[in-house]
Amino acid sequence: MNTKKTYMKRTLTILLFLLSIYNISSAQQTETMNMNKKETHPQVQPVTYTCPMHPEIQASSPGSCSICGMKLIKDKPKQVANPEQMDNMKNMPMIKANLDNIKTIVNNTPPQTIRYDLYIADTIVTFGKKSKRAIAVNGQIPMPTLTFTEGDTAEIYVHNNLNEETSLHWHGLFLPNQYDGVPNLTQMPIKPQSTHLYKFPVIQNGTHWYHSHSGFQEQIGMYGMFIMNKRKEWDIPTIPVVISEWTDMNPKEVNRSLHNATDWFAINKATVQSYAEAIGKGHLNTKLTNEWKRMNAMDVSDVYYDNFLINGKNQNEHPQFKAGDRVRLRIANGGASDYFWIHYSGGKIAVVASDGNDVEPVEADRLIIAAAETYDVIVTIPDNKCYEFLVTPEDRTSSASLWLGSGEKVPASKLPRLKYFAGMKMMNGMMDMKGNMIEMEGMHMQNQVMDMNTVMYPEITGPENPKDPMKEDHMQAKEMKMGQHMAGMDMDNSSSEIVTLNYGMLRSTEKTTLPSGTLKELKFDLTGNMNRYVWTLDNKKVSESDKILIRKGENLRIVLFNNSMMRHPMHLHGHDFRVLNGQGDYAPLKNTIDIMPMERDTIEFAATESGDWFFHCHILYHMMSGMGRIFSYENSPPNPEIPNPKLAQRKLHADDRMFHFMARASIESNGSEGEVMFANTRWKASTQWHFGYQDMHGYENETMIGRYLGRMQWWYPYIGFDYHYKVEGGPKNIFGSEEKNWFGQKSNQNIRKTIVAGIAYTLPMLFVADFRADSDGKFRFQLTREDVPVTNRLRFNMMINTDKEYMAGLRYIVTKYISISSHYDSDMGLGAGLTFTY
Task: State in angstroms the smallest separation of the CB of 333 from Cu ion.
Answer: 14
Of the pair 244, 801, the CB lying nearest Cu ion is at 244
Task: State in angstroms the smallest separation of the CB of 537 from Cu ion.
Answer: 10
Cβ burial of 75 (10 Å; 0-12, 13-18, 19+) is: buried
Of the pair 619, 794, the CB lying nearest Cu ion is at 619
Task: State in angstroms the smallest separation of the CB of 621 from Cu ion.
Answer: 8
For every residue of 179-224, which 3-state class applies, written as one string? Answer: HCCCECCCECCECCCEEEEEEEECCCCEEEEEECCCCCHHHHCCEE
- Spatial CB neighbours of 141, under 8 Å, sequence gap ≥ 6: 123, 125, 134, 135, 221, 312
Task: State in angstroms the smallest separation of the CB of 310 from Cu ion.
Answer: 23
Orientation angle between helical segments 469-486 and 4-33, nearest 10 degrees: 70
Reported as half-sphere exposure (CB side, CA atoms, 13 A), residue 282 has a value of 7
Task: State in angstroms the smallest separation of the CB of 559 from Cu ion.
Answer: 17
DSSP string, 751-817: EEEEEEEEEEEEPGGG-EEEEEEETTS-EEEEEEEEEEESSSSEEEEEEEETTS-EEEEEEEE-SSS
Of the pair 446, 512, the CB lying nearest Cu ion is at 446
For every residue of 525-590, which 3-state class applies, written as one string? Answer: EEEEECCCCEEEECCECHHHCCCEEECCCCEEEEEEEECCCCCEEEEECCCCEEECCCCHHHCCEE
d(CA 696, CA 692): 8
Of the pair 249, 619, the CB lying nearest Cu ion is at 619
Query: Would you say 243 and 334 are in contact if contact means Cβ atoms under 8 Å apart?
Result: yes
Task: State in angstroms the smallest separation of the CB of 470 from Cu ion.
Answer: 40
Q: Which H or E run includes 652?
A: helix 645-657
Of the pair 143, 258, the CB lying nearest Cu ion is at 258
Residues that bind Cu ion (CB under 5 A): 568, 617, 619, 622
Task: State in angstroms the smallest separation of the CB of 536 from Cu ion.
Answer: 10
Of the pair 622, 690, the CB lying nearest Cu ion is at 622
Q: How far is CA 155 from CA 165, 196, 815, in A?
A: 21, 11, 48
Of the pair 80, 593, the CB lying nearest Cu ion is at 593
What is the C-alpha R_g of the chain? 29
Task: State in angstroms the smallest separation of the CB of 619 from Cu ion.
Answer: 4
Of the pair 449, 617, the CB lying nearest Cu ion is at 617
Determine if the peptide bond prior to 142 is cis (ω within 30°).
Answer: yes
- Nearest residue to 837 (alpha-carbon basis) of 820, 685, 825: 820
d(CA 223, CA 137): 9
- The residues that bridge with 548 in the sheet, in sequence order, are 631
With H, G, I as helix, E, B as strand and everything else as coil, classify residue 4: helix
Of the pair 655, 700, the CB lying nearest Cu ion is at 655
Of the pair 179, 614, the CB lying nearest Cu ion is at 614
Of the pair 211, 568, the CB lying nearest Cu ion is at 568
Task: State in angstroms the smallest separation of the CB of 512 from Cu ion.
Answer: 26
What is the strand order of the sheet 113-125 is part of?
Answer: 132-137, 113-125, 153-160, 194-201
Give the dihedral sign, CA 307/171/241/566.
negative
Q: Which H or E run includes 469?
A: helix 469-486
Of the pair 597, 611, the CB lying nearest Cu ion is at 597
Of the pair 169, 568, the CB lying nearest Cu ion is at 568
Task: State in angstroms the smallest separation of the CB of 149 from Cu ion.
Answer: 34
Reported as half-sphere exposure (CB side, CA atoms, 13 A), residue 642 has a value of 25
Task: State in angstroms the smallest separation of the CB of 627 from Cu ion.
Answer: 5
Of the pair 42, 528, the CB lying nearest Cu ion is at 528
Of the pair 281, 568, the CB lying nearest Cu ion is at 568
- Nearest residue to 301 (alpha-carbon basis) of 30, 528, 631, 565: 565
Task: State in angstroms the smallest separation of the CB of 684 from Cu ion.
Answer: 23
Task: State in angstroms the smallest separation of the CB of 247 from Cu ion.
Answer: 18
d(CA 785, CA 429): 24
Query: Would you say 412 and 343 are in contact if contact means Cβ atoms under 8 Å apart?
Result: yes
d(CA 105, CA 571): 32
* Beta pairing, strands 357-364 & 349-354: antiparallel
d(CA 687, CA 700): 10
Task: State in angstroms the smallest separation of the CB of 218 from Cu ion.
Answer: 14
